[in-house]
Structure 1
Amino acid sequence: MEHEIGSHHLAHFAGLTFNMDTLQMTWISMAIVIILAVLATRNLQLIPGRWQNFLEMIITALLDQIDGTMGPKGRKMAPLIITLFLFLVVSNEMGLIPGLTSPTNDINTTLGLALMVLVLVHVLGMINIGPIKYLKHFFEPYKVFVIINVIEELAKPITLSFRLFGNILAGEVLLLILGMLVPYVIPTAWLAFSVFVGVVQAFIFTMLSMSYLANSIGKDH
């Protein structure tokens, strides 16, 4: 069964409710990232053209950030970090295209990504540092601090997801309102600013993810 509430199409299956707009835009974003990856690596040249050079600049900048934040061991996480950044950039900008919406304007998407990062942080922490040693740091410097440390860990996915969700949703809503109240000039200027905000928010989410992952691979801070 499927029906529409406002601009969202909801589908019910097995007692669960799905936002079909978010699901469709998520799959489209993933397809765009895959297509970009294929096009970027299909005809690699020793002397890169404009497209290859542009993508190489992005990858090089991200690798520098990974090395600086996570250390040499961070290169193992480079495919995940780069893919996450590209997916967020594409997803954030989808809502700026007429008729489309950003999957990141749905808290379910951003919270899912944040939980993925935090679960990976703890799994890698126990693998690389050791389960006992990793869990022990929650009780340091004093056992009573375990409550504070647990609250801090629970707050990470919440702040990480709500920051991205709030910025993208607010930008799209304001763009629609400006389009109705003051057509053309102001919405166009805000559209350009929204493109910039989408990239910045993707970068912030990725950088925070790297800082969390740095602790789980044994890099001292």
Structure 2
Amino acid sequence: MGHGGHDIGGHKVAALAGLSFNLDTLYMTWLTMLVITVGILFVRMNWKLVPDGWQNFVELVIEGLLDQIDSTIGPGGRKVAALILTLFPFLLVSNWLGLIPGFTSPTNDINTTLGLALMMVSIAHGYGIKTKGLFSHLKHFIEPNILFLPINIIEELAKPVTLSFRLFGNILAGEILIIILGILVPYVVPTLWLAFSVFVGIIQALIFTMLSMSYLSNSLQEHHEVKKEG
């Protein structure tokens, strides 16, 4: 069961060179990128010096995210501003796609959410190594002392797992419930749940983005503090 005959949680799989690819996820991911690209081009072509309606909303979202970047990450936050400002709309559009009949959310596939989570954690480590050096960055694994090494490693491995499963689980569950409610109690209840799912899509995109910022802040803020002390 699913939108337009698509099985929620199931995927059309294609094999290539011994690897399996979820075609519906790939299609919807490219569609998400297309929607965002077209939206950005539209905004840029119609940008006014004196903002009105929709431009006020866009500026409000951008300024809100930039303020959050500054408060969460600190002075080094603007280095990753472009990444965060791209991540949030990508997640938002991805989460909402599955609410349209005939479409699915790329984020209802654990491969997408885990890939995004691994990317953000890897970038955080990359910035940590770049700004502080490899050994200084890895030093936090044995803090406050070497006995905490196993705990710190487990905590680090848990970051992408919890980040990805939270987003994946909420989006997949929302799509499943819309279908079930549509069968059991047509019209009113599914419509109300659809509106709620739009809200959930926003919240889940914000949570993923905020947690990603917190991971990045650990690298960028620590570097700032080291520089200040030196």
TM-score bracket, shorter-length normalisation: over 0.9
In the aligned structure 2, how far is the partner of 1:123 from the partner of 1:76?
13
Residue 205, structure 1, aligned to residue 208, structure 2: yes
Task: Tell me whether 1:40 sits opposite 2:43 in the alignment.
Answer: yes
User: In 2 relative to 1, CA 68–18 (structure 1 residues): closer, same or farther, beyond 3 Å?
Assistant: same
Secondary structure at 1:18 match in 2: strand
1:19 to 12, 17, 22: 22
Gaps of 5+ in 2: 226-230
Q: Secondary structure at the match of 2:221?
A: coil
Q: Deviations for 1:15-38, whole angstroms, at most 9, x for unmatched residues? A: 111111100000000111111111
More deviation, 70-79/204-213: 70-79
Aligned Cα root-mean-square deviation (Å):
1.4
Q: Does the alignment pair 1:152 with 2:155? A: yes
Q: In the alignment, what sits opposite 1:76?
A: 79
Give identity over the alignment, percent: 62
**Which residue, out of 18, 34, 58, partners 1:55?**
58
Specify the alignment match of 1:136 in structure 2. 139
1:73 Cα deviation after fit = 1.0
Q: Which amino acid aligns with 1:96?
A: L
Structure 1: gaps spanning 5 or more residues: none
State the shift of 1:43 in Å.
2.8
Q: Distance in 2 between matches of 1:19 and 1:110?
A: 14
Alignment partner of 2:94 out of 91, 94, 100: 91
Following TM superposition, by how much is the alpha carbon of 1:218 offset from its aligned partner in structure 2, in angstroms? 3.0
Q: What secondary structure sits across from 2:12 in the alignment?
A: strand
Task: With a CA cutoff of 8 Å and minimum separation of 6, indicate the structure with the bigger relative contact order.
Answer: 2
Alignment partners' CA distance in 1, 2:99 and 2:154:
36
Question: Match of 1:16, as an amino acid?
Answer: L
Q: Residues 6 and 102 of structure 2 are in contact (CA less than 8 Å); yes or no, is this contact kept in structure 1?
A: no
1:176-198 CA distances to partner (integer Å, 9 max, x unpaired)?
00001110000000000000000
Give the Cα separation in 1 of the matches to 2:6 and 2:104: 15
Contact 1:125 1:218 in 2 (8 A): no
Give the aligned residue type for 1:185.
Answer: V
Give the TM-score taking structure 1 as reference length.
0.95
Aligned equivalents of 2:134, 2:221: Cα separation in 1: 13
For 2:124, the equivalent position in structure 1 comes to 121
Residue in 1 that maps onto 2:228: none
The count of aligned residue pairs is 217
- Within 2, Cα distance between the matches of 1:55 and 1:160? 26
